[in-house]
Amino acid sequence: MAGIIHLVRHGHHALLGRVLCGRMKGVELDDLGCEEMARCAGTIARRPSLIQSSPQRRCMQSACILAAHFRLPVEIVAALDELDYGEWTGRSFDELAPDPRWSRWNGRRGTSRPPGGESMRSLQNRVVAHLEQLRGDRNLDAVVVVSHAEPIRAALLHYSRMPLDQFLSIEIDPASISTLRADSRGMKITGINQRVPA
C-alpha cells in the first residue's frame, strides 16, 4: 500500500489571487512558480514511486519539474482536476465579490455550488475515492499528487472529519506540500501546507 501520499499544490502563476481560473485553458506557471517547484522537489526527502497530476497545464508543468528531479514519468489523473466553477470560470474576484451567489457559495460550501459548476461534495468524493485507491495499491511506497487548492482542501477536510463549510480553516499555498500517511486502518494527516523554503 502507499505509505506516504504527498498532496502538492501547483506553483505560482500570474493570475493567482486575481482571477478564478478553475479549468481555464492556458494558465501557466510564471518564473516564480517554476522556482518554487524546483525548491519543492528538493524538500521531498523520500523518492516517490509515482507522480500524478491534474490535467490542468499549471499542474502538469509543476509535476514535470518534480518528475525531472526524481527521473520519473508523470501520470495525468482526471480525479485530481480543479473544481469546475461553471459560469464563474475566468472571472476576477473583484467581479465576483458583489454577487450574492458567490457569498452564499463561500459561506455554505457543503450545500451550494457554482452556477453551472461542480459541488464541493462532488469534488471531495472524486478526490477521496482516488486517494483511497492509491492507499490500497500494495506496490506503491510513496506517491506525489499535484493538484489545486480546492481538491487538496477537500481531501484534508475529509480526513480531518471536518465539514466542507470550514474550508477556509485550511490554507493551501502555491508549491506547498500536505502529507498523508496510509496504512490498513486508513489515512492520517502528518503535515498541512508545508511551504518550500524561500
Residue span of the structural domain in which 167 resides: 4-194
Q: Which of the 8 DSSP states describes residue 156?
A: H
pLDDT digits (tens, 9 = 90+) for 139-169: 778 999 999 999 999 999 999 999 999 998 9
pLDDT digits (tens, 9 = 90+) for 15-31: 999 999 999 999 999 99
Q: Which residue(s) pair with 186 in the sheet?
A: 183
Count: domains in the chain = 1
Q: Could you give the CA distance from residue 56 to residue 76 in angstroms, rounded to a whole number?
A: 9
Extract the C-alpha cell encoding 99: 454577487
Residue in this structure with the C-alpha cell 499555498, named with its chain if needed = 173
Q: Could you give the CA distance from residue 92 to residue 145 in angstroms, rounded to a whole number?
A: 27
Spatial CB neighbours of 107, under 8 Å, sequence gap ≥ 6: 165
Q: Could you give the CA distance from residue 135 to residue 69 in angstroms, rounded to a whole number?
A: 24
Pair 52, 74: CB distance under 8 Å: yes
Backbone angles phi, psi at 172, to 5 degrees: -135, 100
pLDDT digits (tens, 9 = 90+) for 61-94: 999 999 999 999 999 999 999 999 999 999 999 9
Report the CATH number at residue 34.
3.40.50.1240
Burial class (CB in 10 A: 0-12, 13-18, 19+), 8: buried
